[in-house]
Each structure stands twice: as structure tokens, then as C-alpha cells.
Amino acid sequence: MRIVLALGCLAALGGFLGAVFLLPEQGDEPAPGSTSSARDTEVLAAQAVREVVAIRSAGAEAGLLSSQIFGVIGEAARQPRAAGDRTLRLELPSLLAAAAIVWPRSDRAISAQAPRREAARRQRAILVRAIRSEEQSLARLRRELGAGGDPWPPVLAFTSRSEALRRRLAREIDAMMVAIPAHESAALRRAFAGG
């Protein structure tokens, strides 16, 4: 249930974030017409990692709010039925109202990124689709909860949609890793190992 797979991933970076900032600057591209060397490949791979981190960071606010929403749902699920119903009715509406603001802002922030590397361009497209899909799903949950009644059917339908989105994201990211240049794929695998 973690949309964080694609949106956040900052926690997976751990100590790597420091290393990303020590990599060559974005303008350190190989000179036009130069032959491909190991150094040129490393520079391009480092740029791809920085751009993917920037894109994921642009969507981090939505990832954090998503974690809060799923935290409330998980908390409610662990409570006796009546208490869980109360938790959903009391805590989800304000989070869903915040989501109506945060998701479009995250969409704009991700869309505003102008990556040069193939990996980052593909990552941006994947995340924009995910943000828009989850935004629609959250709006639907907000409407259904606002109608009153038992909160669990709309919450369970939402978690089912989110799980389907998570599986789709995993497939799209796997396909992206195969489609991008090998040096970018290898650099991203190293950067996000364990993520």
C-alpha cells in the first residue's frame, strides 16, 4: 500500500543523499563530440541519479500525506469496529481535504522538472500519471465518505485501487529500468539499492 515506492523513496536514499550532492555538477556533461569514456559515462549516470532524486523530491509532499492517510486507515483497522469507524470519520476528512491541495501542487512540481537524462524523463512521466490517478482516487474517497454511512466500503475500495496503482507503478518502473541506457539503469540500481 505504499505509494511511497515511487513518490517518496527519500528514506531509501539514506546516506546516499550526501553522495549525490558530491557528484559532478549538472553542467559537467561531456564535451560535444568527445568520445565516450568511463568518466563521461559516470558523469551522465550521476546526472540521471540527481534528476530522478529531484523528481521524486518534488512529489515528496504527496508521499508524506499518503503515508499519513494509510497510517490512519491502518490504525482504524487495528481498533474495535466502532472505534475504527470513529477514527476514519474524524481523521480522514482533514487529510483528504489536504490531499485536494497537495496532489495538484505535487503534480505541478513534478511536471515543472526539466530533466535531460532518459531515466529522469521516464520517471517524471510515471510519477505524473501516478499522482493524477491517486488524486482521482482520493477525490472519490472524499466524496464517498462525505455521503455518510459505513466508512469501510469506500476505504477498502480506495485501498484496493491504491494497491493496483502500486503494482502498476512497480511494473512501469521495472520497464523503465530496462528501457533506459545501461549506465543510467546501473547508477539508479546502486543509488536506490534496498529502496
Q: What is the per-residue pLDDT across 52-103, written as a single tens digit (0 to 9) for each? A: 899 989 999 999 999 999 999 999 999 999 999 999 999 999 999 999 999 9
CATH-assigned architecture of domain 10-22+39-189:
Up-down Bundle (1.20)
Residue 99 corresponds to which cell in the numbers above?
490531499
pTM of the model: 0.75
Domain boundaries, the chain: 10-22+39-189
Residue 177 corresponds to which cell in the numbers above?
529500468
Q: What angle do CA 118, 42, 109 make, to 5 degrees?
A: 40
Do residues 124 and 117 make contact, with C-beta atoms less than 8 angstroms apart?
no
Q: How many Å apart are CA 38 and CA 108, to the nearest integer?
A: 36
Residue 47's pLDDT band, with cuts at 50, 70 and 90, is: confident
Q: How many Å apart are CA 117 and CA 177, to the nearest integer?
A: 13
- Confidence at residue 36, expressed as pLDDT on a 0 to 100 scale: 55
Q: What is the per-residue pLDDT across 20-44, written as a single tens digit (0 to 9) for each? A: 322 333 344 444 554 557 778 888 8
Section 152-172 average pLDDT: 96
